[in-house]
Amino acid sequence: MAGERSGEDTVSEYLDQNPELARWVDSLRGYCESRKQWSARREFILRNMEAFPTVQPGETGSSLDRLLSLSMVWTNHVFLGCSYPPAVMEKIRDMGEGIVVQDAPIHKTTKELLSKGKRSATAEGDADGCVKRAKCGSNEPDSRPAGRATLRPGSQKSGPLPQAPAEHQPFFNRLYKAVAWKLVSAGGFGPNLDHCEILRSCVESCKQTLTCVFVPLKDITGLPAGRTQKEGHVCEIRCQTVYMGTGYGKDESAAKAMASKEALKVFQGRKVTVKICRRRFKGRDVEDLVLLDEQPRSQGFPPALSYPFQEQEDPSS
């Protein structure tokens, strides 16, 4: 409607009239936030400053930390579909009431996705059956959509498909943003964080789960130099078959914590990239999907504890 102004226009006009406030609030923007995400979170911060009377521009404190954390939680919910305990969800909904996000993404619950997937699978099965019956007696190949085939020609070696890195990259781009926001709200990467919980919650917010493989140290060959003790466990973390990190510990819980910490280190750069790299698995070199940052590597990867790309049986057995 003509003459109707958006919340963003109102906020921009208010900040134009208060340049010092504008400079301060813009300093709170996360380096990975898009203009649209920051505009929404900025409005959330400004609308709720009155509820935190000790928050003063240019000053730090626990009240400001809490307001910023709630603003991150709200934007994670709006833009990534993250969910939190009911009390937290109720609070951020109240705090975000009246903020209009244009073309906000629509998120579906896992239950809705699974239900849709079952219906789609049934429909596709019926369609495939019709196609096969129509082609009965014909020498024409079964022309399925690209990317649907799961079997490979017998002459092709086992391992990730050449197009696999490009197929996985969009998911890990989303995960990168989720991890970056989570670390910002936690005060940055550090040794005192619950690395397992941060990684798990970020992966689940992107509608995926982690895969952890545990192996006793005594069963591992090719350990890094200096790793001579035989007590304890090794943990390897993957997501969507992509290797993320390996950790060593006195028990499975400690090993998982170290593996999670190593995985989160990859997210400290400007981006993450999925690549096909050579790794050792059961004494032989294999091609594996690996999540990398932009830092140059001076040494190889830890030996693989699992290898999800075998077709039927291990050729070395």
Cα 104 to Cα 59: distance, rounded to the nearest angstrom: 32
Using only C-alpha atoms, the chain has a radius of gyration, in whole angstroms, of 24
Q: What is the pLDDT of residue 119?
A: 53
Nearest Cα to Cα of residue 198 among 288, 50, 76? 76
Q: Is residue 50 part of a domain?
A: yes
pLDDT at 143: 37
pTM for the whole structure: 0.51
Distances (CA, A) of 160 to 277, 286, 288: 10, 10, 6
**Least confident stretch, 12-26, 50-64, 76-90, 134-148:** 134-148
- pLDDT given at position 139: 39
Per DSSP, helices labelled H in the chain are 7-17, 19-26, 35-48, 62-75, 86-95, 110-134, 164-185, 195-205, 252-265
- The encoded tokens of residue 71 equal 């603003």
Has residue 285 been placed in a domain? yes
Range of the domain at 34: 7-95
Lowest mean per-residue pLDDT among 3-12, 56-65, 79-88, 151-160? 151-160
137 pLDDT above the threshold of 50: no
**Residue-level pLDDT at 228:** 52
Q: Read off the pLDDT of each residue in 159-180 and give the average, rounded to a whole number.
A: 92
pLDDT given at position 161:
92
Residue 163, pLDDT score: 92
Residues 210-255: pLDDT tens digits?
A: 999 999 888 776 555 555 556 789 999 999 999 999 998 999 999 9
More confident call, 268 vs 202: 202
Q: Please indicate, yes or no, if residue 151 is contained in any of the structural domains.
A: no
User: Which class for 256: exposed (0-12), middle (13-18), buried (19 or more C-beta within 10 A)?
Assistant: buried
Q: Is residue 2 part of a domain?
A: no
pLDDT (average), residues 149-177? 75
Query: Looking at the domain assignment, is residue 107 inside a domain?
Result: no
Which carries the bigger pLDDT value, residue 71 or residue 122? 71
Q: Show the tokens assigned to 265.
A: 């280190």
pLDDT value at residue 290:
95
Contact 310, 281 (CB under 8 A): no
- Summarize the confidence of residues 92-107 as an average pLDDT: 81
Supply the mean pLDDT for the chain. 77
Partnered with residue 98 across adjacent β-strands are none
Q: Is residue 106 part of a domain?
A: no
Strands 211-216 and 233-239: antiparallel
Residue with the larger pLDDT of the pair 247 and 85: 247
Closest CA to 81 of 109, 101, 114: 109
Task: Burial-class residue 174 by CB neighbours within 10 Å (0-12, 13-18, 19+).
Answer: middle
pLDDT for position 201: 92
179: in domain: yes
Residue type, 53: P
- Determine the Cα–Cα distance for residues 291 and 266; give it in Å rounded to an integer: 8
At 147 the three-state DSSP class reads coil
Position with higher pLDDT, 31 vs 171: 171
Which of 44, 65, 95 is a domain's end point? 95
Does residue 14 contact residue 46 with C-beta atoms inside 8 Å? yes
The pLDDT of residue 314 is 44
- 10-19, 262-271, 284-293: which range is least confident on average? 10-19
Domain count, the chain: 2
131 assigned to some structural domain: no
The answer to whether residues 167 and 148 touch, using CB atoms and an 8 Å cutoff, is: no
